[in-house]
Amino acid sequence: MDIKKYRKILSENLFSNNPVFVQILGICSTLAVTNNLINTLIMASGVTLSTAFSNFTISAIKDLIPRKVRMIVQVLIISFYVIIFDLFLKAFIPQVSKVLGPYVGLIITNCILMGRAEAFAQANPPLLSFWDGISSGLGYMYVLCTIAFTRELLGFGTILNIRLMPDSFLPWTIMVMAPSAFFLLGIFIWIVKGPLLQKGGNKK
C-alpha cells in the first residue's frame, strides 16, 4: 500500500482536480439541494458512497466488461448503488427522502460518478479506485456545504434547522431561489481559482 499515492489522490480530488470547481462536474445536484445544510450533507454522503462503491466494483470487473457495453454496464453499476441508497433513505429517513425527492435518483446521472468511472476506475486497482471515489466525494461535499451554509444562513436564518440569526433578520429570499446557487458557485470558483492559477496548475 503506497501511502503517498493515496495522499496524492486525496489532495488532487480535494483541490487541484476538484470535481466541482475544477472539472466542473456534478453541478446539477450541487445547486439543487444546497438551500438546506442537512439535505446537502445527506446528498453528498450519497454521492460519496455511490462513487466509492461503484468505482470499486467497476475496477474489480473491468477486465471482464466487453468494450461495446462498457458505458451501459457502468451506468448499471452506478444505478445499483444509488437505488440501494435511495431504498435506505426511504426506509430510515423518510423526511429527507421526501425533500430530496428525485434528486437522489439523479445521482445516477451525476457526471462525477460517470467521470470517475471512466477516468480512474477503468485504469486502476479496486482499492485505489474506492479511495478515489471517497476523496472525490469529499471534494464535492465541502464545496456544497460551503454554498449550503451560506444559502441556509442568509435565506432562512438557520443552520441545520437551528435558528441562528436574530428574529429581526430579514431573510434574503433570493438565497433560497435558483440564481443564488449559480452566483455563489461562480464566486467560489473565483476565490479558489486565484491561488490555483498561481500554483501553476494550468487547468482551464
Partner 1 sequence: MRPDVTPLILFIASIFTSNILLSNFLGMCSFISVSKDFKSSNGLGLAVTLTLTVTTALNWLVYKYLIIPLGLEYLTYIVFIIVIAAVVQVLEMLIERFSSNLYMALGIFLPLITVNCAIFGVALFMQLRNYDFIQSVFFGAGSGLGWWLAIVTLAAIRKKVDAAPVPPALKGPGITLITIGFMAMAFIGFSGMISVQ
Partner 2 sequence: MNRNSKIYTVLFTFLISFVFILVLSFFNGITIERTEKNKTLSTIKAILNSMAIVYADDDQAYTIFSESIKYEKKESLDIYTFSRAADTAVAVIFSGSGLWGSITGSLAFDKDISMLLGVDFISQNETPGLGGRIEEKWFKEQFKNKVISENPLELSTNKTGKGIYNSLNNEIDAVTGASLTSTYLLNIINSYIYKVKQVLGVS
Question: At its nearest, how many Å lie between partner 1 and the CB of residue 38?
Answer: 19
Torsion angles phi and psi, residue 184, rounded to 5: -60, -40
Report whether 39 contacts 33 (CB < 8 A): yes
Q: Which of 51, 110, 124, 135 binds partner 1 (CB under 8 A)?
A: 110
What DSSP character marks residue 34? T
Which residues are at the interface with partner 2 (CB under 8 A)? 35, 63-69, 72-73, 76-77, 80, 83-84, 87-88, 90-92, 94, 98-99, 155, 173, 176-177
75 contact, one of partner 2, partner 1, none, CB 5-8 Å limit per kind? partner 1
- Using CB under 8 A as the binding rule, whether residue 119 contacts partner 1 is answered as no
Report whether 151 contacts 181 (CB < 8 A): yes
Q: Which triple of cell numbers denotes residue 189?
A: 470558483
With residues binned 3-state (H G I as helix, E B as strand, rest as coil), the percentages for the chain, rounded to 5, are 75, 0, 25
Which residues contact partner 1 by CB under 8 A? 21, 24-32, 71-72, 75-76, 79-80, 82-83, 86-87, 101-102, 105-106, 108-111, 114, 174, 177-183, 185-187, 189-191, 193-194, 197, 204
